[in-house]
Structure 1
Amino acid sequence: MLRIPVFMPHEANAIRRHHIPRPKRRVTNWAAYNEAPRQRSSLTVWFTADAIAVWKAVPRTTPGGQPRYSNVLITTALILRAVFRLAPRQTEGLIGSVLQPLGLDLPVPNYSTLSRRAETMDLPARARATGGPIHLLVDSSGLKLSGPGEWLAEKHGTSKRRSWRKPHIGFDAVTGRIVASILTGRDVDDASQVEPLLDRIAEPVEVFMGYGGYDRTGVYTALDERHPDAVMVAPPCADAVLSATADTEPTQRDRHIEMIGERGRLGWRRMVDYGQRSQAEVAMFRYKKVIGRGLHARTLPTQKTEAKVACIVINIMTGLGMPVSRRIA
């Protein structure tokens, strides 16, 4: 008879999953949320006096050619491109079609300028502070790069295997926004990107939560140096052992190991509310549904800019309204 250990989480208890009822939830703010998707696709555009003032680039005082387009203009164009999934030429046409009916004498960057400026775009490295502590949930996934499609693989027998990049995001469970993001190659370890993610966050971190891959000494050290009062939640591996100072000065990891030994892994998940880490996976899923599952840029610097702009778009859309659901059964 097959016995399943009591410490196994739900995702590992596959043979008994059909006995676990699916929770039922109900959206409580349907009237307000129903308006948010409409606003996300609205083509209503207005230009404030401040936006018009910074539309053109500031003249340079050093020798060389004078710039015509400001960073605000290039960022706006890249945001429109990400929202409507446009090519650079289509983005140029969209901006021109908006400015002409309004009668605004403002320059429109051509498609080559958009591609060139995106490679050297200097977006803010630190997220804008909101004033309160955050519950940081970290996760990573994969974004495809362009490669041979199904037709080429079937016609010429070429390999269909594609290359991809790995985005690392820091999601705030309190405000529902992406507060930090990094794009790396596929061979980069997730735990090694925790320190750069923390350097991009302006708010104090109250809770740090990640999957088992973040249970590393370097992650604990980086969090303790920047946010010594933060609670670190990452499931230790099955063969984890207590530290040498567990009896006198237990670490957070020691407490997690002891709790798992006393209550089992499922009990530990309930005690630390580990289920909220799924919000980071939902944020990554939202990224792929809204922006897409791949990257359009060809070079790594441009791909990093594309990923940062995509996170800005996701934050703008979530700020318009999100559903608030309550469990009913």
Structure 2
Amino acid sequence: MSEAPTQGGRPKARYRTRNWREYDRVLIMRGDLTVWISPDIAWHAAEGTGKRGRPPVFSDAAIQCVLTLKVLYQLPLPAAQGMAESLIRLAGLDWPVPHTSTLSRRQQSLKVAIPYFACGGPLHLVIDADSHEVRAVEMTDHRHGDGEIVPGLLAQLHPEEQIGVISGDGADDTRGVYKASATRGAALVVPPRRNGKPWKVHATGAVERNESLRAIKHLGRRLWKRWSGYHRRSLAKTAMMSRLKRLGERLSARDPARQVAEVQIRCAILNTFNALGMPDTVACA
């Protein structure tokens, strides 16, 4: 085997996939339209919502289904409507299909259902580093730091779901993040800021954070990241962002409310992909 290209002066690791035959079938299934639309979908909105005004005709699931086709195949809204109409006709159903204007309006406030499958143990949250599923989503602008949204992200998970480890970057080195992690009984793996000072011992998470500061001082950041398992976060985040960008480098929606729904739908697609099967990849010797 020829020498791998170098990365930062070190040989770049090479990997091989051990289940190509099974994974090839998974890649084919990702294009199977029956994965994305099914007669089991609750297409029509429930009656008696209790809200004023004209009741909705279509359920959130129906809106999400059509918008999923739009995002997955990178279609304009009219084409997504046309694809949904043709699929419903081929299925022998007489369901109406949301018009483009309805899709655009409902996307602003759509509650996207992001599917996931229980991993059977405590979560390691970046994305879920074991299953590679996205479990919580939040969009921010330049006015909000990453650390500010962690409590809201954790609130999207069921209160009884066990979280083992939460990994974040230096922006999450805040008292609020340590407090939110402690509230959920999770360990926090976050590199202290480079100019970080020890916290007073009565602060939540101070003992763990101060230990990290001491370890980094003696071992250096590179060794601390390997010792703490921080590199697992980097690999998971890199894999997730790479897959997300395959659904398009840019968002097609222009206003923030619609962009939120579009990002959430992309995450729902990624989780569906993962549920179909994942490659079994190992490092080459």
TM range (shorter): 0.7 to 0.9
Going from structure 1 to structure 2, the CA distance change for 1:93 and 1:276 (only over 3 Å counts) comes to same
| 1: CA distance, partners of 2:237 / 2:46 | 39
Alignment of 1:54-93 (within 5 A): 54-60=42-48, 64-93=53-82
2:240 to 253, 275, 283: 283
For 1:99, give the aligned amino acid: I
Contact kept, 8 Å, 2:139 with 2:260, in 1: the verdict is: yes
Aligned-pair distance for 1:131? 4.7
| 1: CA distance, partners of 2:39 / 2:272 | 21
Alignment of 1:24-35 (within 5 A): 24-35=14-25
Going from structure 1 to structure 2, the CA distance change for 1:128 and 1:301 (only over 3 Å counts) comes to farther
Task: Report the 3-state secondary structure (helix = DSSP H, G, I; strand = E; otherwise coil) of the residue aligned with 2:137.
Answer: strand
Aligned-pair distance for 1:219? 1.0
TM-score, normalised relative to structure 2: 0.87
| Larger Rg over CA atoms | 1
Superposed CA deviations along residues 95-130 of structure 1, whole A, max 9, x for unmatched, are 111122332111111111111111121235997755
| 1: CA distance, partners of 2:68 / 2:164 | 31
Q: Any stretches of 5+ residues in structure 2 without a counterpart?
A: 1-6
CA RMSD between the two structures:
2.6
1:187 to 140, 143, 147: 143
2:156 to 200, 203, 219: 200
Q: Which structure shows the higher strand fraction?
A: 1
Q: Any stretches of 5+ residues in structure 1 without a counterpart?
A: 1-15, 138-170
Contact kept, 8 Å, 1:74 with 1:117, in 2: the verdict is: yes
Aligned-pair distance for 1:257? 1.3
Q: Give the number of aligned pairs.
A: 274
Going from structure 1 to structure 2, the CA distance change for 1:273 and 1:29 (only over 3 Å counts) comes to same
Going from structure 1 to structure 2, the CA distance change for 1:61 and 1:73 (only over 3 Å counts) comes to closer
Contact kept, 8 Å, 2:44 with 2:59, in 1: the verdict is: yes
For 1:31, give the aligned amino acid: R
Which position in structure 2 is the counterpart of 1:215? 173
| 2: CA distance, partners of 1:61 / 1:186 | 37
TM-score, normalised relative to structure 1: 0.76
Aligned-pair distance for 1:44? 4.0
Aligned-pair distance for 1:66? 4.1
Task: Report the 3-state secondary structure (helix = DSSP H, G, I; strand = E; otherwise coil) of the residue aligned with 1:182.
Answer: coil
